[in-house]
């Protein structure tokens, strides 16, 4: 255009071309900015999901501490240090992000703290963010990014040092700053330049939020490592707990309550030699009161409780099992239970347990010693009560809204109706089932086990003894790859082919969330179950 004089028409065409080129560049810029918005939303969703993951991690630690305070306390103290370090690191990164927004948007810091990504007016500005994060020196040492890098390095060093050297190789913390990092021409770059030089505000905010997400992951990784370290030398199997197996929870005066106390474990190759201590009439038995408790001796490799059924009504007892570990320490597993002693003139008890459930047929065993069943006439205060002659037991159905039901029994004795007595039952709603995949409801799982399981199943709680089955009818699987959170849906209990394909691509430490899990019961009603959060081993 500079070689000769242009006509007015040529000048107009040239001007329109420049305007069109600028508009095309603007559209590309908007598409890129919209892409950062989607990535940022995904990162924020991951941060939100980690709230429950962190909570579950510390809850598991507290449970282990409650069982073995002396042994677990040093590791729990380190976990609290990890929490403190991570809280500080999250707050620091958030403050850098807010200062960056305030400088770029030219608003007060307090306003920047509350401004959402969508409300940013200068998302495409890269000059101010580059000056703020990189500064005037070519090595980036004059900008905020250098300080951020040093903070990250110090944080990683402190977190790694919480774990014993023996177990550090198992950590996958992320937050790497060593590189190597290179530009498009292959020339080496510093971490600061690689992530923050000539980068628009939208990308900087997303990157800083991703760093917060990586701090969350590092915290959970270290705390889980400390928990595993605290129990690594105890037993050859994964879990051990005390179980009380009573022959019955309902007795007559003069009978004897009998129960077996076992140590349940998942590896039969190791058999500890426990000691059992218990005390009647208490809800719990601390180890400090062991000298006042009754010691149960082992007979033929078994531990059996035998308590005379004196008194009438609810009877409680509690105790603990002391188990020597492979490392020479003693771990104490507490238990508690209760049973009911009734007068021999009347027996009314739930066949499954001393509770009536809404929506199911509750079998009841009703008898009066010395009186034929045909001469016994029970009634229930709320709901219906009928005799199932094929099984020789009564069946109670209680309505919605009922909280307690009383079974009253009369009997025909010598041709005369006589009131024998009453029994009260608690009434509960059928509990929600618990979702499982690969026999896990949370925590670490092998990738191949997840794929082999192929579906989510719903199990009723262990203390719910009715034949009442829920079936999973839909769920959603969410997982993050890079800056993006992906969501996949299934309209059945089975993993879809796409879900299995994505699981095959996961790495150790990858978090997979199964949520919006819907289960349908025999009555046709649906319930939304708690999410399943698993971590690939």
Structure confidence at residue 149 as a pLDDT band (50, 70, 90): confident
The SS3 of residue 459 is strand
CATH of range 347-429; options 2.60.40, 2.40.128, 1.20.120, 1.10.10: 2.60.40
DSSP state of 266: S
Q: Is there a common fold for 240-338 and 347-429?
A: yes
Mean pLDDT of the chain: 80
pLDDT at 531: 92
Structure confidence at residue 334 as a pLDDT band (50, 70, 90): confident
State mean pLDDT over 277-294.
85
pLDDT at 253: 57
pLDDT at 344: 47
Answer whether residue 248 shows pLDDT above 70: no
Answer whether residue 372 shows pLDDT above 70: yes
- Which positions ≥6 away from 425 have C-beta within 8 Å? 350, 354, 355, 356, 396, 404, 405, 406, 407
d(CA 230, CA 234): 8
Structure confidence at residue 489 as a pLDDT band (50, 70, 90): very high
Give the DSSP letter string of 197-228: TT--HHHHHHHHHHHHHHHHHHHHHHHHHHHH
Looking at mean pLDDT, say which of 250-254, 344-348, 491-495 comes out highest.
Answer: 491-495
Q: What is the pTM of this model?
A: 0.44
State mean pLDDT over 85-113.
89
Positive or negative, the CA dihedral 306, 308, 314, 319 is negative
pLDDT tens-digit series, residues 422-431: 888 989 888 8
What is the total residue count of the chain? Answer: 537
The full set of domain ranges for the chain reads 30-231, 240-338, 347-429, 434-536
pLDDT at 116: 85
Kind of pairing between the strands at 532-536 and 442-445: parallel
pLDDT tens-digit series, residues 375-405: 889 999 999 999 888 888 889 999 888 889 9
Q: Sheet harboring 362-367: ordered strands across? A: 347-350, 362-367, 393-397, 384-388
The residue behind tokens 């709320």 is: 382
State mean pLDDT over 499-515.
92
CATH of range 240-338; options 3.40.50.300, 3.40.640.10, 2.60.40.10, 1.10.275.10: 2.60.40.10
Please state which of the ranges 299-303, 312-316, 462-466 shows the lowest mean pLDDT: 299-303
pLDDT at 269: 46
pLDDT at 31: 64
pLDDT at 19: 44
Answer whether residue 219 shows pLDDT above 60: yes
pLDDT tens-digit series, residues 414-472: 677 888 888 889 898 888 899 999 998 888 999 999 999 999 999 988 877 777 889 99
């Amino acid at each position: 255009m500079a070689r000769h004089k242009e006509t007015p028409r040529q000048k107009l065409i040239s001007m329109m071309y420049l305007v069109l080129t600028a508009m095309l560049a603007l559209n590309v810029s908007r598409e890129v900015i919209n892409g950062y918005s989607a990535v940022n939303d995904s990162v924020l969703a991951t941060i939100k999901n980690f709230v429950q993951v962190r909570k579950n991690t510390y809850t598991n630690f507290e449970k282990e501490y409650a069982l073995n305070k002396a042994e677990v306390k040093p590791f729990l103290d380190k976990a609290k240090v990890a929490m403190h370090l991570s809280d500080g690191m999250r707050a620091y990164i958030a403050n850098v992000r807010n200062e960056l927004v305030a400088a770029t948007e030219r608003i007060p810091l307090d306003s920047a703290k509350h401004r959402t990504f969508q409300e940013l007016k200068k998302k495409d500005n890269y000059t101010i963010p580059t000056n703020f994060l990189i500064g005037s020196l070519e090595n980036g040492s004059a900008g905020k990014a250098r300080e951020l890098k040093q903070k990250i390095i110090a944080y990683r060093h402190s977190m790694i040092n919480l774990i014993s050297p023996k177990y550090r190789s198992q950590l996958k913390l992320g937050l790497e700053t060593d590189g190597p990092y290179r530009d498009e021409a292959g020339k080496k770059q510093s971490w600061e330049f690689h992530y923050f030089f000539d980068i628009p505000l939208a990308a900087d905010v997303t990157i800083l939020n991703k760093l917060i997400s990586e701090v969350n992951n590092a915290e959970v990784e270290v705390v889980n490592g400390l928990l595993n370290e605290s129990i690594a030398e105890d037993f050859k199997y994964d879990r051990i707990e005390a179980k009380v197996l009573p022959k019955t929870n309902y007795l007559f005066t003069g009978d004897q309550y009998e129960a077996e106390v076992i140590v349940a474990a998942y590896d039969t190759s190791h058999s500890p030699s426990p000691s059992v201590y218990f005390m009647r009439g208490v809800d719990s038995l601390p180890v400090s009161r062991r000298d006042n408790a009754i010691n149960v001796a082992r007979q033929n490799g078994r531990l059996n409780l035998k308590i005379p059924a004196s008194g009438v009504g609810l009877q409680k007892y509690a105790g603990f099992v002391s188990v020597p570990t492979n490392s020479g320490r003693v771990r104490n597993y507490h238990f508690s239970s209760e049973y009911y002693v009734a007068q021999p003139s009347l027996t009314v008890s739930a066949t499954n347990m001393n509770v009536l459930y809404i929506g199911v047929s509750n079998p009841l065993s009703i008898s009066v010693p010395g009186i034929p069943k045909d001469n016994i006439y029970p009634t229930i205060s709320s709901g219906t009560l009928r005799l199932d002659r094929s099984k020789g037991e009564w069946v109670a159905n209680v309505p919605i809204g009922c909280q307690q039901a009383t079974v009253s029994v009369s009997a025909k004795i010598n041709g005369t109706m006589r009131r024998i007595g009453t029994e009260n039952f608690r009434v509960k709603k059928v509990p929600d089932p618990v979702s499982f995949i690969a026999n896990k409801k949370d925590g670490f799982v092998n990738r191949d086990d997840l794929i082999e399981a192929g579906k989510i199943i719903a199990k009723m709680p262990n203390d719910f003894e009715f034949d009442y089955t829920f079936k999973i009818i839909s769920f959603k699987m969410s997982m993050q790859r890079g800056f993006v959170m992906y969501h996949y849906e299934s309209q059945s209990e089975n993993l879809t082919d796409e879900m299995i394909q994505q699981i095959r691509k996961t790495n150790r430490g990858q978090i997979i969330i199964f949520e919006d899990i819907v289960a349908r019961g025999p009555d046709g009603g649906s319930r939304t179950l708690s999410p399943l959060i698993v971590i690939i081993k």
